[in-house]
Structure 1
């Protein structure tokens, strides 16, 4: 069910372009996340990192470049995106097929030591609030003291008027950067479905997703609510370290 290097390269490069439509200042957000990871792992030998909802390895590849001595475990439930990552970014991470937030999902990670950092971009908003709290607790158990959980995402604002404003600022930024000229999410997936090399993986993906409700259950959660859940999960140090529009990087450090 593997794909060729050429096919993986094509679809990962197209993925990178279409994602720029949605993640405001995506590259800067990746850089900030890497800055945080670099800081918390500065005195560590072979730091262990976990990439949650890794997709085709976009963040894992950037972290591998910034922290080349790190061991990175990248987890996702999407078989097609995982295979693209395994092929195109093979050296960046060890890719794990698991559903973040399900019972015993961390067993599949097969970690041999505590994590130095857990990272995520535009993924945890798929989790409903109770599952998100459980996930934060699990990650707190996996992290070493001084380790960090770093979440880059689009967060709802406290007031609807503010949400509309921050979303507008983000859209205008994307327009200035020319990102809206790229293909969108739907056209990327339509194209992938037509590629013969991806057909079996696409079918498996559709079968898996049929068992889930779909949507983004946690889209309504503000950064402040995420911070409350993180503190409830045992993280006493939580801060937003970067923001543009409604895109933020939230960091929680374990005592």
Structure 2
């Protein structure tokens, strides 16, 4: 029988972070700004919904910064949830739920009905326009009055295309160099997960449910997914939030905050 230790779970958490940082070298900065916003709006002991939590990267940073906080981590991915549950084993501040955010009844799987903050990062870009619009409305209903929603994701500002292109070219060049030096990409990381005796079962369920990340994406029509920061801000206001603004950005990503 294979026994996975706390150190093993930490190793998986770290390897996930390194793989994500290869795509987003300023990832920690967006987490810092996100945690600032949670503390500023919801105080030092908030109840937080970590939406599409993955391995629990946001909760990990939030709880180190705000040890009096509590988080509910929700995701659909069995493999990433397995890592998150292992990483937070024994931490009573963290609860988990497995749910499909596009299902109409997904909130019924949550242990609590109201939150001070909802946070998410690099996840909602997988949703098409109308499911994402509906989700924003649902999140407005989950937040207490004065609560905050924070979404850090791939969002683009089309107002300065030459600046954006120059910064994107630099990032691409840097990634290619790091790849030659051994950096793991998305497919490589999932190959390691699938080869691990503890994670192979959850990985197989993940592949059946969401597709195999080791396979190239099919060529075809582009999905209907919003990419403009302005769309997110306007839609949050339309779906019941009182205020919405961008609080951080890079050449390719932004962090938007919306107040209930």
- TM-score interval, normalised by the smaller of the two chains: 0.7 to 0.9
SS at match of 1:157: coil
Q: What is the aligned-residue RMSD (CA, Å)?
A: 2.8
1:198 offset after TM fit, Å? 1.3
Evaluate the alpha carbon distance shift between residue 184 and residue 217 of structure 1 in structure 2; reply closer, same or farther with a 3 A threshold: same
Which is bigger in relative contact order (C-alpha 8 A, separation at least 6)? 1
Is the Cα–Cα contact under 8 Å of residues 82 and 199 in structure 2 kept in the other structure? no
Q: Which runs of 5+ in 2 are unaligned?
A: none
The residue correspondences of 1:22-171 to structure 2 (distance < 5 A) are: 22-42=23-43, 46-90=45-89, 91=91, 93-112=94-113, 114-158=114-158, 161=161, 164-168=165-169, 170-171=171-172
Is the Cα–Cα contact under 8 Å of residues 2 and 197 in structure 2 kept in the other structure? no
Aligned length: 248
What residue is the counterpart of 1:18 in the other structure?
19
Q: Tell me the TM-score normalised to structure 2 length.
A: 0.85
Q: Tell me the TM-score normalised to structure 1 length.
A: 0.87
SS at match of 2:184: coil
Evaluate the alpha carbon distance shift between residue 69 and residue 57 of structure 1 in structure 2; reply closer, same or farther with a 3 A threshold: same
1:169 offset after TM fit, Å? 5.2
**Distance across 2 between alignment mates of 1:148 and 1:55:** 20
Q: Which runs of 5+ in 1 are unaligned?
A: none
1:242 aligns with 2:248: yes
Higher mean alpha-carbon deviation, 157-166 vs 92-101, is at 157-166
**Distance across 2 between alignment mates of 1:219 and 1:158:** 16
SS at match of 1:251: strand
